[in-house]
């Protein structure tokens, strides 16, 4: 059983950001810091107004805690929420719209019991964003919980951060997503115009996006694909992994890329090379998702067949 170090966290004020989550002791890479059941969860077909109905079934304490989370709706979006409340005959329309806004802002996409689901996990929702995060949140279907692991060594007093956007994305696209969905502009080192690292990072991210698009075209069998062979796909993927390392990015995406390389080598009948990258993928997933994650078991089975 994977140990959870949630007692090594504290919530406190972050200058200019409201509340945030901090490590109260040193945490080694791969440490699980949270494992939570959702406070409110909606299936894909459920209307947002159902978040308000579920909210009303929570205990007064859970309701109070939920309402302390950030809601990012602008005037237009809030009017849309209020209109939805009116259409569903909700009397407490202002409070309901506020709850729906909080849900919209803080929900993570997940998959529970084979159904597409979004959910708010109270403690994870307190973790602020960084484009170069030191933690990653993943839903573990076997546990029925969202788990959060630190993706590099963290010192006591460091703020815990996750990424609210896709890591392999251009700076302008990340910023637009953050502003539209969460109502803020990122000012991390990766996004600070005054920092040399930001300029270098923007160039690396652009290169990463281009490489990723080349790989997607190859995997889709597109006629316009620049990458034509499995060998070229391996080389391109290794370049992408290298750029992610230069950016300080480590997470499930790195595991996925190693898995892809393993698949390419397996197709080429180069089993030794395939095992090497499946092993690397296994290591990444175990660190970022936990040894009890279904992906780890799936990779274990794949490796067993290759031995």
Domain boundaries, the chain: 6-182, 196-306
Lowest mean pLDDT among 25-39, 68-82, 191-205, 265-279: 191-205
pLDDT at residue 84 is higher than 80: yes
Give the confidence band of 170 by pLDDT, cuts at 50, 70, 90: very high
At 189 the pLDDT is 81
CB-based contacts of 119, cutoff 8 Å, min separation 6:
38, 39, 40, 41, 42, 107, 108, 110, 112, 146
pLDDT at residue 139 is higher than 90: yes
Determine the Cα–Cα distance for residues 26 and 221; give it in Å rounded to an integer.
Answer: 46
pLDDT single digits (tens) 85-120: 999 999 999 999 999 999 999 999 887 555 668 999
At 30 the pLDDT is 97
Q: What is the CATH number of domain 196-306?
A: 1.25.40.10
At 117 the pLDDT is 87
Percent of the chain at pLDDT above 70? 97
Q: In what order do the strands lie in the sheet with 145-150?
A: 32-36, 145-150, 135-140
pLDDT at residue 23 is higher than 90: yes
The CATH architecture of the domain made up of 6-182 is: Alpha-Beta Complex (3.90)
At 283 the pLDDT is 97
Determine the Cα–Cα distance for residues 102 and 190; give it in Å rounded to an integer.
Answer: 27
pLDDT at residue 56 is higher than 90: yes
> Over the chain, what is the mean pLDDT?
93
At 169 the pLDDT is 92
Averaged over 265-274, what is the pLDDT? 95
């Amino acid at each position: 059983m994977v140990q959870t170090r949630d007692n090594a966290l504290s919530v406190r004020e972050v200058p200019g950001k409201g509340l945030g989550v901090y490590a109260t002791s040193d945490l080694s890479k791969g440490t699980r810091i949270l494992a939570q059941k959702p406070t409110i969860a909606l299936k894909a077909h459920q209307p947002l107004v159902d978040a308000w109905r579920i909210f009303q079934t929570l205990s007064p304490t859970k309701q109070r805690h939920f309402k302390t989370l950030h809601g990012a709706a602008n005037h237009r979006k809030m009017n849309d929420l209020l209109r939805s409340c009116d259409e569903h005959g909700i009397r407490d329309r202002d409070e309901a719209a506020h709850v729906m806004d909080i849900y919209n802002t803080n929900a993570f996409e997940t998959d529970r019991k084979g159904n597409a689901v979004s959910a708010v996990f109270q403690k994870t929702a307190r973790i602020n964003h960084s484009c170069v995060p030191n933690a990653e949140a993943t839903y573990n279907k076997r546990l029925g919980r969202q788990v959060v692991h630190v993706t590099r060594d963290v010192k006591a007093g460091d703020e815990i951060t996750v990424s609210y956007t896709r890591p392999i994305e251009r700076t302008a696209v990340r910023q637009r997503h953050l502003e539209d969905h969460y109502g803020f502009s990122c000012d991390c080192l990766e996004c600070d115009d005054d920092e040399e690292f930001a300029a270098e990072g923007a160039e690396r991210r652009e290169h990463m996006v281009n490489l990723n698009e080349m790989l997607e075209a190859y995997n889709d069998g597109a006629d316009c694909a620049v990458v034509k062979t499995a060998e070229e796909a391996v080389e391109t993927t290794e370049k992408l992994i290298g750029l992610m390392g230069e950016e300080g990015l480590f997470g499930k995406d790195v595991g996925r890329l190693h898995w892809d390389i393993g698949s390419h080598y397996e197709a080429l009948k180069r089993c030794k090379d395939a095992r090497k990258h499946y092993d690397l993928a296994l290591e990444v997933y175990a660190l970022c998702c936990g040894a009890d994650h279904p992906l780890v078991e799936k990779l274990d089975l794949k490796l067993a067949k290759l031995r």
